Amino acid sequence: MGPAPDFVGYPEVRRGVRALLEGRPAGHRRPVPACPEWTVEDLLAHLTTIAARVLTRHGGTPPPAPAGVPALLDHWDDLGEDLDRRLAEAGGRTGEVMVMDAFTHELDLRAALGVPPPAEHLAWAPSFEVLVRGFSGSITARGLPALRLRTTGGSEWTAGEGRPAAALTAPALELYRALAGRRSPGQLAELDWSEPPSQWLPAFTWGPFSPPAAPGV
């Protein structure tokens, strides 16, 4: 089976974030290490802002965002229910970057709150595909040799164009977080590379992502 469409993965993220935050009111002002300028509430506000932006692009008219985590969760669900329908009508792929962003931030929230990542998630596979495509474009734009990406669970992709000159193997979560700018250059270099990684490390800076100076959690 291929990756779940955006209108399936997106509500799964909303449910996951709600479950994380509803029972932890003391954590709503906690800083999010993966997003150093944000608290948990700031991150949730970002998710609703992106949802409103995508909804507008699909012809909707989102209401103003409220303040506070409980109100923001309800606001996000209201936007999401409208979005899910419009995304389904659009074919199930026009919101995949939004889903990747939301799922990546769900992982950020889990790390900030000390909650393990989910064993399974409907947004996992499509979000991984978006990250691999972006990283692949970064390798190509820099004129670097192609790189084979492998998870220890057996998934495999080619990033870049042509025959891979090296392979990078890591547990799926570590590879995902590396591609999403959540691992420092030192952490990236410590992954399982078949060749010295130095020429490929700059490619981990792409789109909105850039490896942090300090090790990511």
pLDDT reported for residue 140: 98
Side chain identity, residue 91: G
CA gap 212, 155 in Å, rounded: 26
CB neighbour list of residue 130: distance below 8 Å, 6 or more residues apart: 96, 97, 99, 100
pLDDT value at 150 more than 60: yes
Name the residue among 105, 118, 53 with its Cα closest to residue 79.
Answer: 53
pLDDT tens digits, 3-54: 899 999 999 999 999 999 998 999 999 999 999 999 999 999 999 999 999 9
pLDDT reported for residue 116: 96
Render 12-61 in DSSP notation, one character per residue.
HHHHHHHHHHHT-GGGTT-EETTEEEEEHHHHHHHHHHHHHHHHHHTT--
pLDDT tens digits, 76-120: 999 999 999 999 999 999 999 999 999 999 999 999 999 999 999
Rounded to two decimals, the pTM is 0.97
70's tokens: 């409980």
